């Protein structure tokens, strides 16, 4: 009997990149899966469940109350909406039109990040108007204080590896400014590991992702002062309605938080030491591969995460970091390394999602690609390369849903398909980097937009047919 993965034409991937939304967040443990199954088999009054789960999550975070959400992004929107509309049904139902209510959300310019979507868009969904202060890499307390007016609804502080890590006003000062002006402070701590530290800073609301450090399903939570959390829950009668969290996700989140808290989630010293030791052993195996210099690095945002960083010498390796990542992603199974610094020639292995067996597969694949030690199938005369040039007419370009459909279609084919920009230097991805058509992450990384010309290349069985199917996805009128 085929699996649903096979029926859908989606290949399970080896995730060495980290707990990323684009790769499905966390691998769930059996207790979390069982909790979600328990929820799926019965009905429940959702208001009662949200309140009960909130009490449990509040105990884990050391706060007065908490509100489950579909994720940290939804948590930001809901938190902003709660501070603008409170529990007033008329104001809640008017959002994102804030009317005459204070609606400005002040944040440091280096905190206006893009985490897969713009943070400022989440603020706007909640009815807020972002007010960015200072410069990207230099903000003073005076910038924040001067931006606070009678229209200010909140100060927002972003604790994330996406944010600028130097030259920013620290959280304790942001909280002090908020207190001085009577303005509440929201902290976006989406991927942070310590569930008690950030609420203890004096922030009024703290937002966490349930699917990152906690290891839960796609979910999240807002925690903080009881009256503000009551306002957060009230937003499910307004802008929170399209973000409603399922009973299965709530059960899974509660179980994941119980397990995380029980294992000493905030006490990360032992976990960090184990990661550092594990990555040191991996570095010893990878350092010295042709074109690879490896070392252990700590997460730049200060979390207790240790990774194996691989600096790629294109001349010695025979490909640059982007090319190596594309080859790994094009394999079976696809392997994804962390590519946050790929443009600077660096890739990384994040140990958190990796099983021991998967780590061995990463080593074997890298060794095979860089040394030629892996067996390579003999070329078949029928495996000539077929190319197709076309202009993308799909409005979303090769991003989001079109990229997912494109990758699924390529994944079902026996042909090996790659994509590159026809005119190097245009678009946000720039260059003429060639990526695997089977990898959503790689496709999105080159930033193909509507109106750009691309080249599809295919080799192997079904090459021509596959190119025709892919062309119809990104250029429906292409013939």
What pLDDT score does 337 carry?
96
> Could you give the 3-state DSSP secondary structure of residue 206?
strand
The closest of 250, 247, 253 to 215, measured between CA atoms, is: 253
- How far apart, in Å, do the first and last CA atoms of the chain sit? 37
- Round to whole Å and give the CA distance between 59 and 67: 12
268-371 under CATH 3.40.630.30, yes or no: no
The CATH code belonging to domain 24-262 is 3.40.640.10
What's the predicted TM-score (pTM) here? 0.76
Q: Which of 216, 218, 255 is nearest to 39 (CA)?
A: 255
Residue 431: its pLDDT value, please? 56
Each of the 479 residues of the chain gets a pLDDT tens digit; together they read 568 888 888 889 999 999 999 999 999 999 999 999 999 999 999 999 999 999 999 999 999 999 999 999 999 999 999 999 999 999 999 999 999 999 999 999 999 999 989 999 999 999 999 999 999 999 999 999 999 999 999 999 999 988 988 899 999 999 999 999 999 999 999 999 999 999 999 999 999 999 999 999 999 999 999 999 999 999 999 999 999 999 999 999 999 999 998 876 545 677 888 899 999 999 999 998 999 999 999 998 788 899 999 999 999 999 999 999 999 999 889 999 999 999 999 999 999 999 988 999 999 999 999 987 543 333 454 457 889 999 999 998 888 788 888 888 887 777 788 899 988 655 444 556 788 787 777 788 788 999 999 999 988 778 888 999 999 999 986 44
Helices within 287-343 (DSSP H only): 314-317, 321-330
E-assigned strand segments in 283-378: 292-298, 306-312, 335-337, 346-349
Beta-strand relationship, 129-133 and 104-108: parallel
Which CA distances in Å does 256 have to 66, 235, 338?
15, 25, 24
Residue 240, φ and ψ in degrees, nearest 5: -75, -15
Q: How far is CA 231 from its chain centroid?
A: 27
CATH architecture type of domain 386-474: 2-Layer Sandwich (3.30)
Could you give the C-alpha distances from 431 to 322, 386, 387, 416, 435, in angstroms and in order?
Answer: 11, 22, 19, 21, 12
Domain ranges of the chain: 24-262, 268-371, 386-474
User: What pLDDT does 378 receive?
Assistant: 39
Residues 360/349, Cβ–Cβ less than 8 Å:
no
> What pLDDT, on the 0 to 100 scale, is given for residue 476?
84
- Residue 312: per-residue pLDDT: 95
State residue 338's pLDDT score: 95
d(CA 158, CA 164): 10
Cβ atoms of residues 117 and 166 within 8 Å? no
Task: Please tell me the distance from the alpha carbon of residue 1 to that of residue 3, in angstroms, as a whole number.
Answer: 7
Residue 162 has a pLDDT of: 86
């Amino acid at each position: 009997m085929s699996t649903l993965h096979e029926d859908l034409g989606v290949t399970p991937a080896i995730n060495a990149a980290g707990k990323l939304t684009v790769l499905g967040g966390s691998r769930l443990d059996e207790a979390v899966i069982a909790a979600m199954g328990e929820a799926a088999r019965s009905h429940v009054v959702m208001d009662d469940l949200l309140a009960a789960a909130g009490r449990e999550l509040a105990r884990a975070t050391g706060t007065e109350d908490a509100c489950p959400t579909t994720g940290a992004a939804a948590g930001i929107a809901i938190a902003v909406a709660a501070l603008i509309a409170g529990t007033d049904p008329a104001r809640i139902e008017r959002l994102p039109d804030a009317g005459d209510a204070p609606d400005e959300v002040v944040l440091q310019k280096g905190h206006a990040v893009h985490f897969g979507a713009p943070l400022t868009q989440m603020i706007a969904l909640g009815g807020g108007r972002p007010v960015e202060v200072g410069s990207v890499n230099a903000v003073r307390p005076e910038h924040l204080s001067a931006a606070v007016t009678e229209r200010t609804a909140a100060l927002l502080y972003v604790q994330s590896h996406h944010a600028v890590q130097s030259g920013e006003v620290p959280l304790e000062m942001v909280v002090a400014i908020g207190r001085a002006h009577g303005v509440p402070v929201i902290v976006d701590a989406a991927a942070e590991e310590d569930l008690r530290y950030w609420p203890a800073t004096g922030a009024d609301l703290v937002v966490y992702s349930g699917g990152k450090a906690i290891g839960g399903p796609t979910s999240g939570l807002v925690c903080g002062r009881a009256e503000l959390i009551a306002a957060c829950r009230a937003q499910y009668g307004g802008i929170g309605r399209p973000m409603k969290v399922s009973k299965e996700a709530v059960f899974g989140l509660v179980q994941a938080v119980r397990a995380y808290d029980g294992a000493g989630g905030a006490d990360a010293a032992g976990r960090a030491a184990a990661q550092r030791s594990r990555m040191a052993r991996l570095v010893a195996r990878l350092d010295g591969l042709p074109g690879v210099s490896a070392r252990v690095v700590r997460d730049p945002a200060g979390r207790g995460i240790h990774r194996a960083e691989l600096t790629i010498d294109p001349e010695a390796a025979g490909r640059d970091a982007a090319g190596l990542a594309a080859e790994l992603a094009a394999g079976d199974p696809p392997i994804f390394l962390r590519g946050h610094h790929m443009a600077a020639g660096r890739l990384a292995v994040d140990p958190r999602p990796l099983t021991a067996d998967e780590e061995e597969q990463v080593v074997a694949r890298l060794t095979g690609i860089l040394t030629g030690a892996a067996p390579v199938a003999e070329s078949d005369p029928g495996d000539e390369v077929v190319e197709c040039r076309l202009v993308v007419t799909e409005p979303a370009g090769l991003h989001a849903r079109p990229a997912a459909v494109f990758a699924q279609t390529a994944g079902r084919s026996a042909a090996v398909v790659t994509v590159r920009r026809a005119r190097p230097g245009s678009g946000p991805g720039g260059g003429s980097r060639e990526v695997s058509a089977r990898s959503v992450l790689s496709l999105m990384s080159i930033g193909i937009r509507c109106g750009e010309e691309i080249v599809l290349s295919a080799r192997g069985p079904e090459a021509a047919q596959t190119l025709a199917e892919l062309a119809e996805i990104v250029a429906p009128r292409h013939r």
